[in-house]
Chains A and B, each alone.
Chain A
Amino acid sequence: MSLKFLNRSRTITPEESDRFLVASQWRLMWWKFKKHRIAVVCAFLLFVCYFCAIFCEFVSPYSPYQKNIGLLNAPPQKVRFISEEGFHLRPFVYPLTGGLNDDTWERVYEEDRSRRVPIRFFVRGSPYKILGLVPWDRHLYGTESGEPFFLLGADHLGRDVLSRIIYGSRVSLSIGIVGVFLSMAIGCIVGGISGYFGGAIDNVIQRLIETLISIPTLPLWMGLSAAVPTAWSPIKVYFGMVVILSILGWAGLARVVRGKIISLREEDFAMAARLAGAGEQRIIRKHLLPSFFSYLIVQVTLAVPGMILAETTLSYLGLGLRPPVISWGVMLQQAQNVQTVATYPWLMSPALFVIVVVLAFNFVGDGLRDAADPYH
């Protein structure tokens, strides 16, 4: 453990330096991670995102399938504090009235300035069950009268885009985690075997990994997801996608695991365990894997965004998840051509969420990497 860590902090009292000397590995990492400001902010951001995904029924004001026939492709509504009467402490929106433009036959919306619709928190709305268990009908925000309020506009069926994004995050954010865990499981087993035993087994596995890595993934993913039967139920398609993403995704992780195992198996404690009569399996499980667990967490954090991007890309192409499933990629299918994007730019808003989440994962991974490296 380097003492550089100590020198960098501002002033160190004797108690503090003692604390450092007796701190556990995890505590040291936490202290180091805290110093990476952007990573901490991003970790918080991700926490919020996953919270919203888990409690999406509560966070989103409407059901993602609720259609508003009068408000097709309605633009985002501005949240206001100041009306003609002056300043209001409670934010409000003006209701939208739609009509047809006589020349272009396009729908145009105008704000009805005669009426204010106040926005409230914890309003009553459509009933739901928290996590499918506890029935409730309060929503994080909304309007008292239940009048539609589209913070990010509405889509071609008059459905609230923000509600759909929040519901979609459940699929988009979880598919990355589930996919990474599956590929990590495969990667750890294969990479562990390869690194531990070495020799011919190692050689064969290495060639296999090299083959998988040298293939452009997207065409293969496209081919595999085109093979998912259209008749499958959404949940089956979801897990089908996870399996497809992991089939090619494990190779990179396996290579990293192998590299680490090779450097670890030469360590004295592995030799000590072997001399003490521990079996191969036990040495891998009890001595080698835990010692680079922190390292694995870093790799996982950095692998998640790739999975999220892959799901979004495939769904966008119409080869991954399909409606009525809601995911960010499925939502982006609506923004496929320039005309749509130019007329209804708010349909692109899921893209913003994709970018922010992927960016956050990258920063957190970067912060974790610095924190987990004892020599840094």
Chain B
Amino acid sequence: MGKYLLKRCLYMIPVLLAVSVLSFTIIQLPPGDYMTSKIAQLQMQGEEASLSEIAALRSQYGLDRPLYERYGMWMWGMLHGDLGKSFIYNRPVSTLIGERLALTVTISVCSILMSWFIAIPIGIFSAIRQYSPLDYFFTFVGFIGISIPAFLLALLLMFGTYELFGVTVVGLFSPEYAVAPWSFGKVLDLMKHIWLPAFIVGVAGTAGTIRVMRGCLLDELGKQYVIAARARGVSEVKLLLKYPVRLALNPMLSTIGWILPAVISGEVIVSVVLNLPTTGPLLLEALEMQDMYLAGSFIMILSALTVIGTVISDLILAWSDPRIRYE
């Protein structure tokens, strides 16, 4: 197990490096830099930015150095927990994104748990009642779930709740808790609001998980040990839950690898639509303003979290399934 763990962790390094180069490239791609848009903005307001002032700001932010040096500086800082400084907010990036990132992770984890909670029972049902009307119904609903983009679902649900109850379900907190420091009450309040975004983000994953669960269970149910157990008179419920379901649950863990990137992507867009205080809206704003350090750090950290999450799911899988770690 130790060897496998080490191998898996070492393998993360090149992936993370590739991700960092990619995110840094993206940030460098837009023509001009933050200073250009800042100058344009100042000129629109009728203020003239003097050349020396601009040059001073440029060197202060390191914008006059060559590309590889800036990448080096950025990476070096990142390893030391210094993510650079946001131009828009004039604050260190790490203070800006800490809480937002935590909320993104919370919503993502909640939505994965929620999609399992919904998908596993439905998957089991669809497998044992294959080709029943309800099985077809769930298949159809699943297809629709995959087809509706997350932002549309968010928009539709927002519209629906507005029409039906006259309330807008935006934000993650009630007004009285929005700026309050963390307390037990605030956590409870968060729980009251988090289910809707978690549900929206999880819908596409849920539909996919139902298919995987159904498929795996159908494979297992046809095997001889099931028939043998049935012949011995083991009750149906016990027979089902004791072996086939346990075996069919394994793929759930291995699918995290491809569910997680989708969930993080979904979370970003849903939080833009619902205006949640998570990474999405800030990332969009940063990209629109060409705030390179903020946007770059966001993309880097979101990708890194996904990679780490995938590795963790691999490790859990290896722990639960010895066949994998001795491969």
Q: Which residues of A contact B (CB under 8 A)?
A: 207-208, 210-211, 213-220, 222-224, 226-227, 229, 305, 309, 312-313, 316-319, 332, 335-336, 338, 341-342, 345, 348, 351, 354-355, 358-359, 362-363
Are A213 and B298 touching (Cβ within 8 A)?
no
Are A227 and B257 touching (Cβ within 8 A)?
no
Identify which of B15, B147, B260, B299 contacts A305 (C-beta below 8 A). B147
Instruction: Indicate with 1 or 0, residue by residue over B261-301, a CB within 8 angstroms of chain A CB atoms.
Output: 11011101100110000000001100110100001001100
Are A214 and B30 touching (Cβ within 8 A)?
no
Are B306 and A215 touching (Cβ within 8 A)?
yes
B241 at the interface (CB under 8 A from A): no
Are B152 and A223 touching (Cβ within 8 A)?
no
Could you say which of A210, A214, A313, A355 has the most chain B C-beta atoms within 10 Å of its C-beta? A214
CB distance from A353 to the nearest CB of B (A): 11
Are A222 and B155 touching (Cβ within 8 A)?
no
Question: What A residues does B18 contact at CB under 8 A?
Answer: 208, 211
Are A220 and B22 touching (Cβ within 8 A)?
yes
Given contact pairs A216-B260, A219-B299, A313-B149, enumerate 15 new A-B contacts (beta carbons under 8 Å).
Answer: A211-B15, A216-B268, A216-B302, A220-B26, A223-B23, A226-B290, A313-B150, A319-B287, A332-B152, A351-B152, A355-B147, A355-B148, A358-B146, A358-B149, A362-B143
The 8 closest A-B pairs by CB, nearest first: A218-B265, A227-B29, A223-B26, A226-B287, A216-B264, A358-B147, A359-B147, A216-B261
Question: What A residues does B257 contact at CB under 8 A?
Answer: 214
* CA of A201 to CA of B274, assembled, Å: 45
Q: Which residues of B contact A (CB under 8 A)?
A: 14-15, 18-19, 22-23, 26-27, 29-31, 143-144, 146-152, 155-156, 158-159, 162-163, 168, 170, 257-258, 260-262, 264-266, 268-269, 272-273, 283-284, 287-288, 290, 295, 298-299, 302-303, 306-307, 310
* CA of A246 to CA of B307, assembled, Å: 21
Are A342 and B162 touching (Cβ within 8 A)?
yes
Identify which of A208, A219, A309, A342 contacts B283 (C-beta below 8 A). A219
CB distance from A45 to the nearest CB of B (A): 13
Closest B-chain residue to A318, C-beta based? Answer: B288
Question: What B residues does A341 contact at CB under 8 A?
Answer: 155, 158-159, 162
Closest B-chain residue to A312, C-beta based? Answer: B149
Closest A-chain residue to B167, C-beta based? Answer: A338
* CA of A216 to CA of B298, assembled, Å: 12
* CA of A348 to CA of B264, assembled, Å: 25
Closest A-chain residue to B286, C-beta based? Answer: A226
Tell whether A211 pairs with B19 under 8 Å between CB atoms, given A226-B288, A313-B151, A319-B287.
yes
* CA of A216 to CA of B30, assembled, Å: 21
Question: What A residues does B30 contact at CB under 8 A?
Answer: 226-227, 229
Question: What B residues does A345 contact at CB under 8 A?
Answer: 159
Chain B interface, >50% SS class: helix
Question: What A residues does B26 contact at CB under 8 A?
Answer: 220, 223-224, 227
Are B31 and A359 touching (Cβ within 8 A)?
no
Question: What B residues does A319 contact at CB under 8 A?
Answer: 284, 287
Are B147 and A215 touching (Cβ within 8 A)?
no
Supply 25 A–B pairs (Cβ within 8 Å), ascending by A: A207-B14, A211-B18, A214-B257, A214-B307, A215-B303, A216-B261, A216-B268, A216-B306, A218-B265, A219-B264, A219-B265, A219-B298, A220-B23, A222-B268, A227-B26, A227-B29, A229-B30, A312-B149, A313-B150, A342-B163, A355-B144, A355-B147, A358-B148, A362-B143, A362-B146
Identify which of B162, B168, B287 contacts A223 (C-beta below 8 A). B287
Identify which of B143, B156, B269, B310 contacts A313 (C-beta below 8 A). B269
Question: What B residues does A220 contact at CB under 8 A?
Answer: 22-23, 26, 299, 303
Question: What B residues does A332 contact at CB under 8 A?
Answer: 152
* CA of A314 to CA of B268, assembled, Å: 12
* CA of A319 to CA of B295, assembled, Å: 14
CB distance from B27 to the nearest CB of A (A): 7
Tell whether A342 pairs with B159 under 8 Å between CB atoms, given A216-B268, A354-B152, A362-B147.
yes
Tell whether A348 pairs with B148 under 8 Å between CB atoms, given A214-B261, A219-B303, A317-B272.
no
Are A216 and B149 touching (Cβ within 8 A)?
no
Closest B-chain residue to A345, C-beta based? Answer: B159
Question: What A residues does B147 contact at CB under 8 A?
Answer: 305, 355, 358-359, 362
Could you say which of B29, B31, B265 has the most chain A C-beta atoms within 10 Å of its C-beta? B265
Question: What B residues does A229 contact at CB under 8 A?
Answer: 30-31
Identify which of A224, A226, A338, A359 contacts B158 (C-beta below 8 A). A338
Are B265 and A216 touching (Cβ within 8 A)?
yes
CB distance from A263 to the nearest CB of B (A): 19
Question: What B residues does A227 contact at CB under 8 A?
Answer: 26, 29-30
Are B155 and A348 touching (Cβ within 8 A)?
yes
* CA of A313 to CA of B299, assembled, Å: 17
CB distance from B30 to the nearest CB of A (A): 5
Question: What A residues does B261 contact at CB under 8 A?
Answer: 213-217
Question: What A residues does B284 contact at CB under 8 A?
Answer: 222, 317, 319
Question: What B residues does A351 contact at CB under 8 A?
Answer: 152, 155-156
* CA of A325 to CA of B150, assembled, Å: 23
Are A223 and B27 touching (Cβ within 8 A)?
yes
